[in-house]
Amino acid sequence: MKSYNFYNGEVLLIDKPYTWTSFQAVNKIKHSIKHHPSLVLDTIKTKPKVGHAGTLDPLATGLLVVCTGKKTKTINELMGLDKEYTGTIKLGATTPCYDLEKPIDKIFPTEHITDDLILQTTKKFMGEQEQVPPIFSAVMVNGKRAYDLARAGKEVELKARPITIKLFEITEIKEFEVSFKIQCTKGTYIRSIARDFGLALNSGAHLISLRRTKIGDFNIENASSIPDFVETLRGL
């Protein structure tokens, strides 16, 4: 049976549920750890720190690396690792946030888009490039989160940032829904890739599903759902 030492530090691989924020996921894990018998009986008053190594959007699922105790010192290093995602882009329409959090705001023609054009367009996204993050994002602007400013109806102008796309593979094309696998460096917004992909096709696009499958050598196949993790703690 697995044992944990949350003070010395653990690196937990969690499969974040759909619609949950990364903050909610970490809080649930923190609460479960806080009430674990080994800590309840501990004479030390302070509880181990808990943090994550890279945010996932609420409408994304997949790998969230959560660190506890002394392992929280490695968070910055882990955040710098490459990421892998799978998901689906819907062609022909856009939303203000580039995914399904907001309703469609514009419709674009798709008659000219062929499978071959889609495949050829992916090549334009390979390698080093500058990417503008979505305005509905956690990027800081004058001390405030961009999404707070955007939701308040204020104009948000974000600067492009350097990223590298190492793999952009199309896995399925079905009725203008394009499924993909992407490997990229830290700070890459897949929602922005969806937006830019639509523009590159002389159309529009938005993200309709996203799943993070890898962070460095950490793999979603080794991750636990939050209910399974909580149940494991209860059984120790």
As annotated, the active-site residues are: 57
Give the residue from 216, 199, 182 showing the smallest Cα distance to 65.
216
Long-range contacts of 137-142 (CB under 8 A, 24+ apart): 137/189, 138/55
Residue 8's alpha-carbon distances to 53, 73, 183, 225, in angstroms, are 17, 11, 32, 23
Q: How far apart are CA 181 and CA 191, in angstroms?
A: 13
Angle at 25 between CA 36 and CA 72, to 5 degrees: 70
Element (H, E) at 121: helix 115-122
One-letter amino acid for residue 44 of the chain: I
Residue 9 Ramachandran class (φ > 0 left, ψ -120 to 50 alpha, else beta): left
Contact 66, 177 (CB under 8 A): no
